[in-house]
Amino acid sequence: MNEKPWLVVNQVYKDFDQGKIKALRGVNLSVKKGEFVALEGPSGSGKSTLLHLIGGLEQPNQGEIRVGNFIVSEGKNLDHYRRQTVGFIFQLHNLLAHLNALENVLIPTIGSKTPLSQRRERARQLLIRVGLEKRLHYRPPQLSGGERQRVAVARAFINQPQLILADEPTGALDTQNSAAVLQLLKELQQEARTTIILVSHNPAVTAAAERKIKIIDGRIIEG
Amino acid sequence: MRELLFLALKNLQRQKSRSLLTILGISIGIATIVALSALSQGAMASMERALQSNDFDFIVAKKGSADLILSYLKPKQVAKIKKTPGVDAIAEVLYWMAPVEKNPYFLLQGINRRGMKLALGEPSRGRWPQKDDEIMLGKLAAENLSLEVGDMLKIKEKNYRIVGIFATGVAFQDNGAVVLLKTAQQAQDLTETVNLVGVKVASGFSVNEVAEKIEQDLEGEVVAIVNLEDFESIDQGLKITQGFSWAISFLAVIIGAIGVMNTMIMSVWERVREIGILRALGWSRKEVILMILAEALWLGIAATITGSLLGLGATELLMQVPMISAFLQPLFNLSIFIQAAVVAGGVTLLGSLYPALKAAGFSPLEALRYE
Ligand SMILES: Nc1ncnc2c1ncn2[C@@H]1O[C@H](COP(=O)(O)OP(=O)(O)OP(=O)(O)O)[C@@H](O)[C@H]1O
Ligand SMILES: [Mg+2]
């Protein structure tokens, strides 16, 4: 069963500081729809940079990035792409401290044409799904680190994204919470056939993925 | 948009005291505008009423006088006015300020006996003064002093018998009193002088033509005030007051805008990271701008309400001073509050436009890296 790749990174280069720092040096990567890929590599090897380029948060100096039919590297309509296609999960939960869990999950839906009641219900279901049915109206400072990261997972999934980009999502969590978040990610991925690219240098975390990709010095060494 | 407004409200609630202080800052400006507009509209309305309360077709005053009370007409001029063809009847008026009980600026009008009906209409009780020691009180003055027809009133060591009470609906008149012209002239050592002459034009004559004729015949020494615009053109006090209130309002608006800008810039810089998160989650620049502007909108709405209430309160307080309330009644109408809302909205939008554009300019990644 050789499906054609859904996400393609083709000869991508990314420099910083006017070329003094070469973060990515010709990255090629193909990911199938619904695949769970782990990106590993030493610190400074370019993992986050690659994730940002795929998520349309930054533009490559050279090369092409395509997700589905959308050419991310053209740099157009990125807001819409980030909102509709991508769900980000960061190492730090990056929730808004003055909003409760439910409101935080709803943030990426603001401006959507779907009625608020429907979106609220979906946010509630997602929070229940991540085990926070008793924490819907808690604000981040009232939640534990693991609970916060689970809110962030729910937020990443709210717009039914086709692609989840997770940068060290368990980096700030203990082993137990870490395993719980990973388990959730896996389940949600399988339910909706979501593609996941997860960055981590923790082997226990990358073990959860279907495929591991190693990146060293801005180049990919398939594992 | 509803959710953006809700979020904006939540954002403002985070820094409660700062938001409240900003609202207070704008409110003071709004209150100033509300109070000054109400007072100047009240002044205009009472002047309009003053011009309409009598049967005059126009009044004649000395040209170039800064205020009617400083206009002096001589008997020769009065006689000329009276003889002008088309003039049916005239009333000669001399103002007289004298201390009465607690009010040091009680306003009396000396009017010639034949002019009284023309100037004031029929008395509501009693009759017009006919003798030197008779006086007719305005309705409000009678109420304030608790005096009735038949009572005595002492002004500058002289006793006057109250023979009538009148009501014109004009605050400064109804808070004052009327005596014979001669009485007012003698009391002020201004024999032969009047401040103004009210003219009634005979039927069949054009008011404007008669007014022009008088101005010509008196060789530019007098002006005929036919309507409120004419009045404004001679009343320097009104012009100065209006200019003054414009200047104060303008200053208040500028200070308000700077306050908003300061608040919003601070709050935007504190939220570089947060705004970056929103952008990473797919918010467009436009949505970020709208969120900041929505915050400004809330500030503007709150400032309109508190500013209007403050303005109402301030004028109410001012009206507790009898000396002021006798001359000036504020006039509140919808347009004042609409003006307040427009100014508050304008000020907050103006002040938040730059911060909003600034926030929209943050790149999501830079913002996410920002600590
Ligand atoms: N905005 C930037 N300006 C300058 N250099 C940058 C910038 N972003 C990344 N770099 C550099 O690019 C290289 C790759 O960084 P990147 O963040 O992708 O590494 P990483 O693999 O995610 O590392 P870590 O595991 O520590 O998160 C590093 O040398 C880093 O210093
Ligand atoms: Mg990284």
Mean pLDDT of chain B: 88
Given this model, what pLDDT does residue B347 score?
87
Q: Residue B87's pLDDT is what?
A: 92
In a domain, B351, yes or no: yes
| Residue B214 sits in the same domain as residue B114 | yes
Q: How far apart (Å, rounded) are the C-alpha atoms in residues B323 and B326?
A: 6
**Looking at residue B287, what is its pLDDT?**
94
- Residue B340 shares a structural domain with residue B290: yes
Q: Which of B2, B5, B271, B277 to mutate to test the interface with A (most CBs of A within 10 A)?
A: B277
Given B204, B225, B246, which residue is the final one in a domain? Answer: B225
Does the C-beta of A23 come closer than 6 Å to ligand 1? Answer: yes
For chain A, 223 residues long, give each residue's pLDDT as a single digit of tens: 467 899 999 999 999 999 899 999 999 999 999 999 999 999 999 999 999 999 999 999 999 999 999 999 998 999 999 999 999 998 876 899 999 999 999 999 998 889 999 999 999 999 998 999 999 999 999 999 999 999 999 999 999 999 999 999 988 888 888 888 899 899 989 988 999 999 998 888 888 899 999 999 999 987 5
Domain coverage including residue B167 = 58-225
CA distance B6 to B4: 5
Strand order across the beta sheet in which A36-40 lies: A86-89, A163-167, A195-199, A36-40, A211-216, A219-222
In a domain, B53, yes or no: no
In the prediction, which pLDDT does B370 show? 64
B93 shares a domain with B171: yes
- pLDDT exceeds cutoff 60 at B344: yes
Kindly report, residue by residue over B98-137, the tens digit of the pLDDT: 998 888 889 999 999 989 988 888 899 999 999 999 999 9
Residues 228-287 of B with CB under 8 A from A: 273-274, 277-285, 287
Say if B170 falls within a structural domain. yes
User: Is residue B194 located within the same domain as residue B319?
Assistant: no
Per-residue confidence (pLDDT) for residue B236, from 0 to 100:
66
The verdict on a CB contact (< 8 Å) between B3 and A110 is yes
> Ligand 2 centre and the CA of A133: distance in Å?
32
Q: What is the mean pLDDT of residues B268-279?
A: 89
Express each pLDDT in B64-102 by its tens digit.
Answer: 777 777 888 998 999 999 999 999 999 999 999 999 888
Spatial neighbors of B79 by CB under 8 A, at least 6 apart, are: none
Binding site membership of A47 for ligand 1 (Cβ less than 6 Å):
yes
B219 and B291 within one domain: no
Instruction: Give the pLDDT confidence score for residue A180 in this predicted structure.
Output: 86
> Which mutation among A27, A39, A45 tests ligand 1's pocket best, with the greatest number of atoms within 8 A of CB?
A45
Classify residue B52: in a domain, yes or no: no
Nearest CA to ligand 1 atom 27: A43
The residue whose CA has the least distance to atom 3 of ligand 1 is A16
CA distance A55 to chain B (A): 9
Do A57 and B280 count as a contact with CB atoms less than 8 A apart? yes
User: Do B60 and B223 meet the contact criterion of CB atoms below 8 Å apart?
Assistant: yes
Of all residues in chain B, the one with the smallest CA distance to A84 is B282
Q: With a 6 A CB cut-off, is A43 part of the ligand 1 pocket?
A: yes
**Residue B94: φ, ψ to 5°:** -130, 125
Q: Choose the final residue of a domain: B163, B197, B225.
A: B225
For residue B192, name the pLDDT band (cuts at 50, 70, 90): confident
For residue A140, give the nearest of A104, A176, A166 by alpha carbon: A104
Residue among A58, A82, A103 whose CB faces B281 most closely: A82
Residues B28 and B81 in one domain: no
Pocket test residue of A27, A40, A47, A167 for ligand 1, highest count of atoms within 8 A of CB:
A47
pLDDT at position B220:
79
- The rounded Å distance from CA A90 to ligand 2 centre is 10
- Closest ligand to the CA of A41: 1
Position B234 pLDDT exceeds 80: no
Residues B252 and B114 in one domain: no
Determine contact, residues A64/A12, Cβ cutoff 8 Å. Answer: yes
List the shell of residues around ion ligand 2, using CB closer than 5 Å.
A 48
For residue A2, the model assigns a pLDDT of: 60
**Contacting residues for B101 by C-beta, under 8 A, at least 6 apart:** B145
Mean pLDDT within B137-152: 93
Task: For residue B315, tell me if it sits in a domain.
Answer: yes
Strands A163-167 and A86-89: parallel
Residues B244 and B364 in one domain: yes
Q: For a pLDDT cut of 90, what percent of chain B falls above it?
A: 47
- The ipTM is 0.92
Q: Whole-model pTM?
A: 0.80
Instruction: Look at residue B237 in the predicted model and tell me its pLDDT.
Output: 67
Query: How many domains is chain B built from?
Result: 2
Residue B332 clears pLDDT 70, i.e. is over it: yes
- Report the pLDDT value the prediction gives residue A91, as an integer from 0 to 100: 81
Domain end call among B225, B258, B287: B225
In a domain, B231, yes or no: no
Asked if residue B207 and residue B245 are part of one domain, the reply reads no
**B204 in any annotated domain:** yes
- B174 compared with B51, residue with greater pLDDT: B174
- CA separation for the pair A8, A189 (Å, rounded): 19
> Which of helix, strand or coil describes residue B163?
strand
Mean per-residue pLDDT for B202-216? 90
Average pLDDT over residues B284-305: 94
pLDDT of residue A177: 85
B19: pLDDT confidence band, cut at 50, 70 and 90? very high
* pLDDT (tens digit per residue) in A41-77: 999 999 999 999 999 999 999 999 999 999 999 989 9
Confirm or reject: Cβ of A17 under 6 Å from ligand 1. yes
Residue B233 domain-assigned (yes or no)? no
| Mutation target among A76, A79, A80, A155 for the B interface, most CBs of B within 10 A | A79
If asked whether residues B191 and B218 sit together in one domain, one would say: yes
Task: Place B184 in a pLDDT band, splitting at 50, 70 and 90.
Answer: very high
Residues B173 and B75 in one domain: yes
pLDDT at A134: 94
Q: Letter for the amino acid at B106?
A: F
B305 and B159, same structural domain?
A: no
